[in-house]
Structure formats: structure tokens, C-alpha cells
């Protein structure tokens, strides 16, 4: 299933890129924009690591396409991808006649900071998007892929909308007009 998820997840990147293109890029009054990631998959059941591109890569690509530095300030904008996990768990039914289930949990966290030339934090915002989905273990692989695809796409779109809104509303002094 992990290999099939990788190939289908490519479709998410195209759909997510198209959604991101509907919003014009934001030019920030900063010297440059840094994208870092503190996210390290820690679970054996992480399926995001087998997706190509991974959710972490998609978030990074969205940042690169959506934010630009005007290089007219000594401040630095820093995006830190703190989480981009999607896990899959198989849960056996406790009942003899019950159905086993598969549970997907996705959690995306993005931190945005403005750092001054004195290396001091000037502003910070954290946006989060998460969701869960439980399905019957009898669900076909194709249906599972579609469910994970749909969940990941919604979470990525939600994260992008929250981040855009947070920056436009809370960081006005750092937006080039």
C-alpha cells in the first residue's frame, strides 16, 4: 500500500499547487526567507515517509511559491515545518464478530517567525491542521489511497489558508504593499 500511496500522492501535489496559485504570492519586507524542518518521523507506522512528494516537501514547495523576500530589510522570515505526519494503524476488533479497522491520523504544524538583524525574535505565529479518519480494514487499497489523498489535500489546503490569513492579519508591518 505504501508504494501505491506514493504514486497517488503525486496527484495531491498538483492539486495543492493549483490551489496555492489561486492566491497571489505575498512579498515580505525581509532580507530572505528560510525554510527549515524540525520534523522527524518517529512512528513505525508513518506513511508520509513513503509518499513522493512527502507532505513535508509539499509544504516547503507551497512556501517557496507563496512567499517572496523584497530584500529591503535586514529581517529574516523563517518557516519551520514542525510536523508533517500521516500515520496508519491497524486496530483489531475486540469482538469476535466485529470488523477490524484502520485509523489514519495526520498532523501538520508550521511555525512562522520574523527575526531581526540583532537575531532577536520580532514576531511568531504557529498554524496547525490535523485530522483523523477511521475505515474498515476490508476497504480496498484503492479506496484507502483515495481516503488518505482526500484527507491530506484538505489538511494542506487548510494549513495554507490559515498561514496566509495569519500573516496577512498579524504581520501587516512585514508585508510589502
Tens digits of residue pLDDT in 7-50: 444 444 544 554 454 678 999 999 999 999 999 988 788 888 87
3-state SS assignment for residue 103: strand
- Model pLDDT, residue 69: 95
Tens digits of residue pLDDT in 145-157: 888 888 888 999 9
Using CA atoms, how far apart are residues 24 and 66, in angstroms rounded to an integer?
Answer: 7
Tens digits of residue pLDDT in 85-141: 999 999 998 887 778 999 999 999 999 999 998 999 999 999 999 999 999 999 998
Q: What is the pTM of this model?
A: 0.83
For each of the domains in the chain, give its residue range(s) and CATH number, in order of start. 2-174 (3.30.160)
Pairing, β 32-37 against β 26-28: unpaired
What is each CA distance from 10 to 19, 46, 154, 165, in whole angstroms?
Answer: 15, 17, 15, 26
Phi, psi angle pair for 49, to nearest 5° = -70, -20
Which of 46-55, 64-73, 164-173 is predicted least confidently? 46-55
- Model pLDDT, residue 43: 77
- Model pLDDT, residue 22: 66
Four-residue CA torsion sign, 81, 61, 134, 89: negative
What the block records as the C-alpha cell of 165 is 490569513
Amino acid at each position: 500500500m505504501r508504494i501505491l500511496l506514493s504514486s497517488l500522492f503525486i496527484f495531491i501535489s498538483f492539486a495543492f499547487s493549483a490551489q496555492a496559485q489561486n492566491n497571489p504570492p505575498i512579498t515580505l519586507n525581509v532580507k530572505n526567507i528560510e525554510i527549515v524542518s524540525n520534523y522527524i518521523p518517529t512512528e513505525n507506522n508513518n506513511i508520509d515517509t513513503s509518499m513522493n512528494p512527502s507532505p513535508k516537501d509539499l509544504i516547503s514547495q507551497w512556501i517557496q511559491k507563496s512567499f517572496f523576500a523584497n530584500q529591503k530589510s535586514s529581517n529574516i522570515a523563517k518557516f519551520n515545518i514542525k510536523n508533517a505526519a500521516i500515520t496508519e494503524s491497524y486496530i483489531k476488533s475486540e469482538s469476535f464478530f466485529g470488523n477490524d479497522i484502520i485509523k489514519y491520523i495526520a498532523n501538520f504544524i508550521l511555525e512562522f517567525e520574523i527575526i531581526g538583524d540583532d537575531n532577536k525574535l520580532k514576531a511568531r505565529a504557529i498554524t496547525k491542521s490535523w485530522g483523523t479518519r477511521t475505515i474498515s480494514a476490508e476497504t480496498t487499497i484503492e479506496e484507502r489511497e483515495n481516503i488518505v489523498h482526500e484527507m491530506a489535500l484538505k489538511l494542506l489546503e487548510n494549513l495554507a489558508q490559515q498561514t496566509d490569513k495569519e500573516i496577512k492579519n498579524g504581520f501587516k508591518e512585514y508585508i510589502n504593499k
